[in-house]
Amino acid sequence: MMKNVILHEPSCLEFRFTGKTSVDYENEVEVENLMFNCIEEFHLGKSPEDNLFDKLDDKKLNRYLQNLGKPFGLHFTAKTFRVFRASEMMDDLLNKRVEGENRRR
C-alpha cells in the first residue's frame, strides 16, 4: 500500500508495515535516484490506501524474480518477496552495499 512506502527527498525510502507473522518492520534506505524516481512515479495520483504496484503483472514479476535469484541459489516469487524474510534479505543486501561504498571512500 502507498502508506507503507514513504518518500523522503532526495533519495530515501521509508518502509513501514506489519508482516504476515505480525512483526512490525520499519526501515529507511538511501537508494539510487533511478529507483527513487520509479517509486515516486508509482505514487503519483494515488491515495494512501491504494496499492503501490497496481500495474505490475504477477506472472511476469514471478519469472523475473526467479531468474534474478537463480545465480545465487535463491527462489523468489511475488508472494515471498512481500513477506518479512524477503524484506530482511533486501535490508541485508542494501546494508552490505552501503558498507562496500563506505570502504571505497
Least Cα distance to 37 among 58, 65, 7, 57 occurs for 7
Domain boundaries, the chain: 1-54, 56-105
pLDDT digits (tens, 9 = 90+) for 21-53: 888 989 999 999 999 999 999 999 999 899 988
Phi, psi of 21 (to 5 degrees): -95, 20
pLDDT digits (tens, 9 = 90+) for 74-97: 887 877 766 766 678 788 888 888
